[in-house]
Amino acid sequence: MRRGRPLAIILVVVVAAVVIAGIVVALVRGTSAPGTEPRPSDPATGPTTVAPPDASAGGVDCTDATVVVATAPELQAALDEAEPGDSIRLQPGVYPGKFSATASGTADAPIRLCGGSDAVLDGGGVDDGYVLHLDGVANWRIEGFGIRNGQKGLMADGVTHTTIAGLTVSDTGDEAVHLRAHSTDNVVSGNVIHDTGKRRAKFGEGVYIGTAESNWCDITDCEPDRSDRNVIIGNHISGTTAESVDVKEGTTGGRVEDNVLDGAHLVEDGADSWVDIKGNDWVVRGNTGSHSPGDGYQTHEIVDGWGRGNVFAANMADVNGPGFGYAVTDRLGNIVGCDNSASDAGEGFSNVACSAVTP
């Protein structure tokens, strides 16, 4: 044992010298230890550390996070201080309260809010408020986590070029996800939406685009709400008391594609279809619907000049109800493609003759 001590001492000295040399090099280069690289200091809050390179959140890749939060106050502070290029990662847990974002990213440097399904924003009740409010922002990526227990789940007002993806939005008093007030060029993709309408069944839509004409004066200065070119794609929507997707008059040029829509919980005074298009020039393609108390897919002319030029293609409608698979206003140039299908529809395939649709 005595013979080993000098060798051990030598090894300790060598290791210490290597560590000290590494620190000196880091100081010279102006770097920090891996996983603790500071962002530029804010005089009020000091530096914020970056998540370790191997960080992830329940299958959502958040390894680029510049801010990691674990409490509701930390989350709201991160949203308030967000700048282009920031990425905010939610640690697992429940975040009680209602949250808002007003900062914008850029096309080249969007702002990201991400977390796994084990991170949940909880609004505390279904009678009032938005659990997450995107207010006048652009170029965000909202990804992966859960939203529940608000009058509305995620509300987007005047939002552009933003992606809402991979969320689980549930247990809302009214609708789950709403884009309004001239929210344009956004993508709602791959979300799981269920159990809406717990306050008012007729307001329990899954995804709601635009504003009803009766509310234009409250939301868009009495002008049509031109929430245009939004894409609703690849979502799974069930347990809604109103339409899975409700597209209002005033909107133009969006797409509803490849969604799975289950209307088993639609109520009589809530909705009588999965998809209701009241805007113009929407494409409804590749969706699969089941269980409706009325029709599968519909258009309506609520305001003169709206409800026109919509195309339904390659959808499936397992209606299990008394209506049509596709019920549209033919005189307004709406088209039901012959590549759609319908089953168990009491009135039949469609109220209009089908047409060939260009892919």
pLDDT in tens, 109-124: 999 999 999 999 999 9
What number is the average pLDDT over the span 205-233?
98
Could you write out the DSSP letters of every residue in 207-272? Answer: EEES--GGGHHHHSTTS-----S-EEES-EEES-SS-SEEE-TT-BS-EEES-EEE-TT--TTT-S
CA 306 to chain centre: 26
> Among 323, 322, 327, which Cα is nearest to 340's?
327
pLDDT at 359: 65
Q: How confident is the model at residue 151 (pLDDT cuts 50, 70, 90)?
A: very high
What integer pLDDT is reported at residue 59 of this predicted model? Answer: 60
- Residue 138's nearest CA partner among 101, 168, 100 is 101
| Choice between 256 and 24, residue whose per-residue pLDDT is larger | 256
The pLDDT of residue 358 is above 90 = no
pLDDT confidence of residue 41: 33
> How many percent of the chain have pLDDT more than 70?
83
Phi, psi of 98 (to 5 degrees): -125, 135
Q: For 56-350, which CATH superfamily applies? A: Single-stranded right-handed beta-helix, Pectin lyase-like (2.160.20.10)
Half-sphere exposure in the Cβ direction for 32 (13 Å, CA): 11
Whole-angstrom distance, CA of residue 207 vs CA of residue 200? 15
Q: Average pLDDT, stretch 275-282?
A: 98
**Among candidates 212, 353, 351, 335, which has minimal Cα distance to 294?**
351
Q: What is the pTM of this model?
A: 0.84
pLDDT tens digits, 91-106 = 999 999 999 999 999 9
**What pLDDT is recorded for position 64?**
84
User: How far apart (Å, rounded) are the C-alpha atoms in residues 239 and 144?
Assistant: 20
pLDDT at 45: 34
Rounded mean pLDDT, 248-263? 98
For 100, counting Cβ atoms within 10 Å of its Cβ (0-12 exposed, 13-18 middle, 19+ buried), the class is middle
> CA–CA separation, 219 vs 49, rounded Å?
40
* 88 has pLDDT over 70: yes
